[in-house]
Chains A and B, each alone.
Chain A
């Protein structure tokens, strides 16, 4: 499984959707039903799964799947 797919599978765990239904323009809160707790837990899940360190302040500002993917890509490249 590539990293993007793995990332979408993690997002899908938190919302009532299949990974294949999740698109880059979707917003975590408004479209996928994340709340503060689930969003923060999901960030922790990303750290553990991909063994990366998120910059909390930056990660909290992310609103869409596309932005999250872009941010994760910068971490993978480091």
Chain B
């Protein structure tokens, strides 16, 4: 049967570009262990994983070899009936088992037209049993991965305990066709382009900010012999990644969520405001701070369950006067963010290109040092038959940091508390730097929540 070839959509392209830039597919890998602290029937789990390859189309995506311009195409293989391997790491310590799985994350999917995912059933130490998923980011993003893990466990509960068979997942191909059609809508594209051009020009050129203060920009200015340079050099040689995880207790998390609910603001915006306020403090009160926010374009029911990589990232420029009260600053930021949401189907690569054309920053320089993804959906496994069983989810870094600081905020599958997972470039930042960042972010966030009328200037000077 002839293969039906499609181009990558904008979300997939965003993941593919670093592969082209770095020459390694590794930077596009996602590797996760997800398991339960209970006995699992591995024969049954294997059946569920094999079912999932039939149910979740995106797992059967294949990519062609790059053409002369470096572009690849994709198609969905009809079937994938492979065996599911089993790995017993239960005789090791947890850190040894994690180190073993960490090593596996560096394995690359480099050949064209091969499966881009490996799922291994794993018996871990301390009674945890589950699966290790090693997958190319173009097939799923974090939401897509969570949908998949939850679906496999729903299947497991169906076969094991007779619970209801899970609803079908949406077709990746149908949503892709719809996305590609939308991308060709000239009227929409013109509107989006106008929005982004206006957005990037209305306040002039952005300026770099960093938790290490203004010396990073000063060093770049010296290196380029340009005293007015507003973008700083990006670390491109050593991309080794450091990870720092912090867990916020469920009661404190609930307090933040109640605040968001009461004032009609989103958790994403609350975190973004805190990030930019700390950067402002580190930059000696600079009121012009640009962040990068990752938006998961999952709005319709089909988009939620079709898999794929629907995460796009856009610059978020915040110019907030120190006299602004915390809550008003939050509304200001939310207004900007809402406008971005209306135009977030636009190609983010084109936005970055526009920024470069407008202000001509030198190659390998950036205005942004911190990026955020907020993931509101926990790895659930909340089927009544699994209730009360402790879960363990570990995201193993792929060893290549393309961003200076990339913060992912998720909800713990055990207690619902927020997990702040910072990935940072070890060549330029230390664990202590990140620990300090988290400490100040929490202090600022809770002070703002307790005193919504505190000004941003007060927060910067007193926290």
Contact = CB atoms under 8 A, between A and B. Distances in A.
B185 interface: yes
Given A36-B266, A48-B182, A56-B339, A41 B297 contact: yes
Contacts, number: 49
B342 interface: yes
Contacts of A14: 299-301
Given A14-B299, A14-B301, A41-B297, A56 B337 contact: no
Of B295, B300, B345, most A-chain CB atoms within 10 Å: B300
Contact of A37 (B188, B295, B302, B339): B295
A5 interface: no
B185 A35 contact: no
A16 B334 CA distance: 26
A74 to B, nearest CB: 20
A41 B296 CA distance: 12
Interface string B334-350: 10011101111100000
Determine the main DSSP class of B at the interface with A.
helix
Contact of A38 (B188, B299, B343): B299
B338 A60 contact: yes
B341 A36 contact: yes
A56 B342 contact: yes
A76 to B, nearest CB: 18
B311 to A, nearest CB: 12
A9 to B, nearest CB: 11
Interface string A44-63: 10011001000010001000
Contacts of A37: 295-297, 299, 341, 344
Given A36-B337, A41-B341, A48 B185 contact: yes
B336 to A, nearest CB: 12
A40 B346 CA distance: 14
Contacts of A44: 188, 342-343, 345
A25 to B, nearest CB: 20
Interface string B171-210: 0000000000010010110010000000000000000000
A36 B299 contact: no
A8 to B, nearest CB: 14
Contacts of B334: 36
A60 B300 CA distance: 18
A15 interface: yes
Nearest to B302: A13
A42 B299 contact: yes
Contacts of B302: 13
A48 B341 CA distance: 15
Nearest to A42: B299
Interface of B: 182, 185, 187-188, 191, 266, 295-297, 299-302, 334, 337-339, 341-345
